[in-house]
Amino acid sequence: MRLDLAVLGPIAQVVWIDLLLSADNAVVIALACRSLPDAQRRIGMVLGIAAAITLRVLFAFAAVEVLEVPLVRLAAGLVLIYLGIKLACDDGHGSRDVPAARNLWAAVWTIGVADAIMSLDNVLALLAAARQNLAVFVFGILLSIPLIVWGSALIMPLLRRFPLLAVGGGALLGWVAGELIAADAIVGPRLQGSGFDPTLAAGLVAVIVLVVAILILRGRVEKRKESAIDEGS
């Protein structure tokens, strides 16, 4: 039973992270290709999907080696904290800023640049959630492939309808970030030496992500109220 729980926990985290993050890749691909002729749109989407998958595989191989370097896990954890806050504060319209490309190669370039950024974030999150279990990590990469292909149609409506899913996902990334930081070759021993439990560290980071996200969201609401009052006066 212990083994089952030890494996099922990371798998559940990997699936949840995949569901939340892979949809962004799918939306970027769809938006970049939306103004192309039908024939070019299909080619652009195929090339975009291929680029996203290729980048994930390349980043996966690199990340496995690089994360063993001292302080890299700390840096990766900080990246995931930022990503978690960004995800929790997402209003569902961030990806709409992607410009529609005028030709096929412009679309491929737009997709490639966006995917390079998002795929690195996704791989870091998956690798941290997998907890150095290579089989679980590979499962997460493979699962992300169909999610990139069909993600926008299946997942984005759910995120728009149930915003708390994104908030929960942000907290999960905060938890994973805390675990990653606590496992760093330099930070980890210092935490353990001071009697700071790694699980407590993960929970603390998750709470920090939630609090920051709530403050940002509250600020947005107040700003909208002020704008509405100014327009009405």
In whole angstroms, how large is the CA radius of gyration of the chain? 19
Q: Contact, 63 vs 123, CB < 8 A?
A: yes
CA nearest 145: which of 127, 176, 119, 121? 119
Give the pair of three-digit tokens for residue 101.
């490309």
Q: Two tokens at 210?
A: 């939630």
The pLDDT value given to residue 96:
47
Tens-digit pLDDT string for the chain (233 aa): 444 556 677 778 787 777 767 766 666 666 667 667 877 877 877 887 787 778 777 877 777 777 778 888 888 888 888 878 887 886 555 444 555 556 777 777 776 766 666 666 677 777 777 776 778 878 887 887 777 767 655 665 666 677 777 788 788 888 888 888 888 888 888 887 877 787 888 899 999 999 999 899 888 888 888 877 777 66
Q: How many CA atoms lie within 13 A of 200 on its CB side?
A: 7
Helix-then-strand count for the chain, H and E: 9, 0
Residue 147 C-alpha from the chain's centroid: 13
pLDDT of residue 116: 67
- The pTM score is 0.66
* Residue 39 CA, distance from chain mean position: 31
